[in-house]
Amino acid sequence: MMKKFLIQLSKYFLIIALIANLLSLISNFLLKRSSIFKASFLVNNFDPEQAFDYFIIGSSRGLTSIGSEEIDQKLTTRGINLSQDDTGLPSQLLMAKHFFESGFRASYCILVLDEPDFEHSSMQINDNDYRMAPYLQRDYIYDYFRERERGIIRPYTLGKYVPAVLYSYYNTELFIPSLFTLFRPTYRHRFDQYGNYTYPDSQLNPENESLKFIQVQKKISNTLLYEFEEYLRTRGCQLILYVAPYENRELIIQQEVKAPLINHSSTLLENSYFYDPIHLNEKGKLEASSLLAKELQPLFQK
């Protein structure tokens, strides 16, 4: 009797597992053909045969501090913003690899570098790295997760072979968005057709209130930047480091990495440019993009 029960239970478990994996594979397919996340947005909306002049990579500060559209209008260039919020330098190197491994080309990579990554980077998986999961079958994506994933249950590592583990674990981040893309495959999650995103003009501070900057000594010495620079060099691309404006911090930077550095940490002098202390609003983004374009012009002409 018990044996028969166990056989039946095993059959039900096998059927459930097969259905779960089938649904996960369908979800993965839907996400890969969509534009909801930057990884698939890049692959599905641009032609690798048409090279970019540059691409922007960073965290939320890269996403909201500068706009490729504004730069392109001023310099007659072609760029794209591949920044993603809640990511660090390891995630940004992964995105750079995804750009080139997907067949795209660019002469320059503008890396919007944040203070936490100046000297070292955490080996942990970042909050929004799950957005790369639809491409887990690619070796460079899988290796990234395998090297960083910790714990008994490792959904990314197991997810390459058993998709249901990954899509069950990240059901609200992956499975539910995949259902949404079934009806709106061209929907982009918080970015426009150029990959940019803009915070609304903040009303928290008076427009005429000037900022008093706190000077902070910083060093850029993260060894991962050397790997970043070397990888780009093998792809015929030059790394440009950019420090976007802060509301009240002037970073005095000592640089060990030899890539060109544009330090705009203290270039905007009014509170009215900022959505919060580390993010620009729409007005600030337009001004920062204009200032950056002036700095990029001689670098692009070399």
Give the domains, in start order, of the chain with CATH numbers.
51-154+192-300 (3.40.50)
Q: Report in angstroms the alpha-carbon separations of 184 from 3, 129, 188.
A: 48, 22, 9
Backbone angles phi, psi at 109, to 5 degrees: -120, 120
Model confidence band, residue 200 (pLDDT cutoffs 50, 70, 90): confident
Is the pLDDT at 209 greater than 90? The verdict is no
Minimal CA–CA distance to 47: which of 83, 91, 78, 73? 78
pLDDT tens-digit map of 23-73: 999 999 999 999 999 999 999 999 999 999 999 999 999 999 999 999 999
pLDDT at 10: 74
pLDDT at 202: 66
DSSP 82-144: ---SS--HHHHHHHHHHHHHTT--EEEEEEE--GGGSS----SPPTTGGGGGGGTTSHHHHHH
pLDDT tens-digit map of 79-125: 999 999 999 999 999 999 999 999 999 999 999 999 999 999 988 89
Higher pLDDT, 28 or 11: 28
Residues 281/201, Cβ–Cβ less than 8 Å:
yes
Which residues partner with 56 through β-bridges?
Answer: 81, 110
For the entire predicted model, the pTM comes to: 0.94
SS3 state at 57:
strand
Q: How far apart are the first and last CA of the chain?
A: 81
Q: What CA dihedral angle connects 132, 136, 137 and 142, to 10 degrees?
A: 120
